[in-house]
Amino acid sequence: MSAPPVVRTEALKRFPKISKALNRVFVSHSTAKLQALNAEIVVDERPARNVAERYLNQLHPRPGG
């Protein structure tokens, strides 16, 4: 099961295409995986940007990186 994205109404109004993009991302992630990533940020106090970059690089490695 996947968790639904939570987005501020103002953000959806300003960036209407974000909804479709977020739905594509969230549908492919389990609640357990999202909780694990969140725990790295909250419990382990790792910067969210670093956690996200590492995870996205695991999913889609960059050529030469």
Tens digits of pLDDT across the chain (65 residues): 666 778 889 999 999 998 888 887 777 778 888 899 999 999 999 999 999 899 888 887 877 75
Rounding to the nearest 10 degrees, give the CA dihedral for residues 44, 48, 54, 58: 100
The answer to whether residue 48 is domain-embedded is: yes
- What distance in Å separates the CA atoms of residue 4 and residue 57, rounded to the nearest whole number? 22
Percentages of the chain per state (helix, strand, coil), in multiples of 5? 60, 0, 40
User: What pLDDT is attached to residue 44?
Assistant: 97
Q: How many CA atoms lie within 13 Å of 54's alpha carbon, on the beta-carbon side? A: 9
The answer to whether residue 25 is domain-embedded is: yes
How many domains does the structure of the chain reveal? 1
| 56: helix, strand or coil | helix
Domain housing 28: 9-59
The answer to whether residue 3 is domain-embedded is: no
